[in-house]
Each structure stands twice: as C-alpha cells, then as structure tokens.
C-alpha cells in the first residue's frame, strides 16, 4: 500500500509541475502577443527642418586667442534655442575643426589657408545643448590642422553623440531616426577628402542611396565663391581666386533633387543667396554665416544670419517655411533682427535669380508657394 500511495503522490507532483510549466509558457506567449500587437507609431504628417549656415564658435588660432569669445562661448546660442526647440531636424555647417591646442597641434597648422579655425573640443557640447540634430562637417576649413583636425572633430562629435556627415572615408550619408521618421543627411563640398560637388555621378549615387532608406533626405553643400561679388547664383561652375573650383551649385542642387533630395541648403559665400522651389522641393543656395562671432567679417550684409525653418510633409514635399532673420554681433552670438534684413535680402535675390520660381517671401520672412 505504501508503495502504491507513494506512486500516487509522485504522479500528482509531476502533474502539478508540468501544469505549472505549461502556464508559464502560455503567459510568455500572451505577453509576446501583446508586444507584437502594439501598433507602430504613426509617422507625423509633416515635420519642421531647420538649417543654418557656417558655425565657427571661436578659434584658438592665432595663439593669442584674439578669436575667442569673452564667456568661452557659453551664451552663443541663447537667442536661438527657443526656435530650435520647435524643430524636428536641425542642422548646421561646422566651419573648422574641433581640436584642443597642444604643442603637437600647433605644428599642424594648414599653411595653405590664410586663416585656420580651431574650436576647443568642449565647444561640441554647445551644439548638443543648443538642440542640433546633426552637423555637416565638410568645407574649406575642414582640413585645417590636416588629419589631426579631422580625426579630432570626428572623435569629439562621436563622444557627445552628435551625428555628422561629410567625410568621404565614411558613408556618404548619416541616418537619424526620430518619431517614426528616418532622416538622411548628405554633406558635400569642394575640399580634399569630401564628396565633391564636381563629381556629380558620385553625388547622385549618394543621394539615391540615402533616398532608398530615408523618408526625408537633407542635402548640405559648401560651394560657390565668396564675398560681395558672389551674392548671385551664376548657374555655371564657379572658380575662386585661388583657382580652385567651387562647383556649379545650380546644377548640383537640382541634380540632388532629381536624385531624391528633399531639402537642399548651401553655404560658403559668407553672404546669403537666392532660394527657389524645384519639383516641390526647396533649395537655399546660401544661408551665409550663422554663428561666427570672431575671425570673420560680421558687418552687413555678411552679418545677416538666417535660420531657415521649413515645413515638409513626410515625403519631403515643401509645405511652408519661415526665414528667422538673425544678425551677428562681434564677439557674441546672433540675435533676432527686428528689421528682418536676411529675409529681405533673400527675397530680393530670389526675384532676380529665379523670377519664375513658385516662391513667396513676406516682409517678415514667411515662405509660401505661389
């Protein structure tokens, strides 16, 4: 009897254990079903893409610190942050390198360039704190301090988790995912080590590849000649006074749209240029300088510092926009311009260079399609 009783007890225990294991498995399966059934967040119907031109926050070169700001750059973006906070994708052109001054770096100055821009590495955090989503890092000052400067810039941006684009030894675009949308940033220039404006076939391939994986493709280009004589878009290849090509920005920008680019913006001339609508996409041929407190000419019109705020649908089609007109101050960050000088200048130039474009710019900078 004892053996029969023991057998019955053992069978009951085994049955109980099996039953418990089965319940656990079912619970896990149900949890997985709930997880799988959670709806994927819907993509927003429209987003705001914000762009700025050249950003050089202060340079330790020359070594006497004449190009450094009084408060170590801490307040440079104070007037800009409230607007940036409203954007979905915010990008600017980092004009120069992020590199700390050391005996070794002081020996690496780019003697080809008359001016070399060396921003302290700690300044990268200012970009994060201001609210930038990504930075374009290819321009005619990207190679100041040669490979050391490039390597330091990349390492510094990675350390503060700031995405970037523009180095040919890496992929031609970077992907940033936010609120269910994928943005691609492709950055081009005419400098060594860059995806070059004159290499249209390569640029076409980069933009098309980005378009295959991203919902919205933003293209940044550093091209065109510099100065007061370069305020118009010549619709031909531009040669700067050092004999180097600065690209045919008109041909390049339209090619980028044809390849799948949605928002195209330029910089390099240090002054603003015209805008146009091409195939329902906006092209800004130069946003000039945005934050260059020292080391550059900030007198008007060089001091016009537009923040281009564009609303596009989730396919990249232009809906509306606004030119937030800032103006630069020597040794300080940009502030809003109550006279809307940047918007007026861009409107005037757009009417001259693209009289047939379907673009309206109001006196206060609102942009709409005709």
Alpha-carbon span 53 to 306, nearest angstrom: 8
* Burial class of residue 3 in the structure, from the number of CB atoms within 10 Å of its CB (0-12 exposed, 13-18 middle, 19+ buried): exposed
Does the pLDDT of residue 22 top 70, yes or no?
no
Query: Please, what is the end-to-end C-alpha distance for the chain in angstroms?
Result: 98
Distances (CA, A) of 28 to 3, 39, 40, 203: 38, 19, 21, 49
Residue 115's pLDDT is 79
Does the pLDDT of residue 289 top 60, yes or no?
yes
> Bridge-partner residues for 131, per DSSP?
none
Q: What pLDDT digit, counting tens, does each position of 207-238 carry?
A: 999 999 999 999 999 999 999 999 999 999 99
Alpha-carbon span 106 to 119, nearest angstrom: 13
Closest CA to 260 of 194, 196, 317, 321: 317
For residue 62, whether the previous peptide bond is cis, meaning omega lies within 30 degrees of 0, is yes
Does the pLDDT of residue 11 top 60, yes or no?
no
Residue 102's pLDDT is 76
Residue 30's pLDDT is 32
CB within 8 A of 170, min separation 6: which ones? none
Phi, psi of 211 (to 5 degrees): -65, -30
Residue 78's pLDDT is 97
Domains and CATH numbers, the chain: 47-368 (3.60.21.10)
Contact between 165 and 218 under an 8 Å Cβ cutoff? The reply is no
Contact between 130 and 77 under an 8 Å Cβ cutoff? The reply is yes
Distances (CA, A) of 63 to 19, 127, 143, 298: 77, 24, 18, 21
Query: Which is more confidently placed, 28 or 181?
Result: 181
């Amino acid at each position: 009897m004892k053996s029969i009783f023991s057998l019955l007890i053992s069978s009951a225990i085994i049955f109980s254990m099996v039953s418990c294991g089965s319940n656990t498995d079912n619970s896990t399966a149900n949890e997985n079903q709930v997880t799988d059934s959670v709806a994927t967040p819907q993509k927003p119907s429209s987003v705001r893409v914000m762009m700025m031109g050249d950003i050089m926050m202060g340079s330790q070169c020359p070594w006497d610190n004449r190009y450094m700001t009084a408060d170590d750059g801490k307040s440079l973006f104070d007037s800009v942050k409230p607007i940036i906070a409203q954007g979905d994708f915010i990008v600017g052109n980092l004009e120069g390198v992020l590199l700390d001054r050391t005996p070794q770096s002081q020996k690496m100055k780019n003697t080809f360039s008359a001016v070399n821009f060396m921003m302290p590495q700690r300044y990268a955090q200012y970009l994060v704190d201001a609210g930038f989503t990504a930075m374009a890092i290819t321009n005619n000052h990207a190679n100041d301090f040669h490979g050391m400067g490039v390597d330091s810039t990349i390492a510094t941006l990675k350390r503060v988790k700031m995405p970037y684009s523009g180095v040919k030894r890496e992929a031609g675009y970077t992907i940033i995912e936010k609120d269910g949308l994928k943005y691609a940033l492709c950055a081009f220039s005419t400098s060594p080590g860059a995806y070059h404006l004159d290499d249209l076939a390569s640029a076409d391939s980069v933009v098309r590849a980005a378009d295959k994986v991203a919902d919205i493709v933003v293209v940044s280009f550093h091209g065109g000649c510099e100065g007061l004589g370069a305020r118009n878009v010549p619709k031909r290849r531009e040669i700067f006074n050092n004999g180097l090509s600065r690209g045919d920005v008109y041909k390049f920008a339209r090619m980028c749209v044809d390849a799948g680019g949605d928002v195209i913006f330029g910089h390099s001339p240090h002054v603003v240029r015209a805008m146009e609508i091409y195939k329902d996409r906006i092209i800004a041929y130069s946003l000039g300088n945005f934050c260059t407190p020292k080391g550059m000419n900030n007198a008007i019109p060089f001091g016009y510092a537009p923040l281009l705020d564009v609303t596009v649908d989730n396919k990249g089609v232009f809906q509306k926009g606004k030119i937030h007109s800032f103006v630069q101050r020597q040794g300080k960050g940009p502030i809003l311009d109550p006279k809307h000088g940047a918007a007026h200048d861009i409107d005037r130039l757009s009417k001259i260079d693209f009289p047939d474009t379907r673009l309206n710019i109001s006196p206060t900078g609102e942009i709409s399609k005709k």
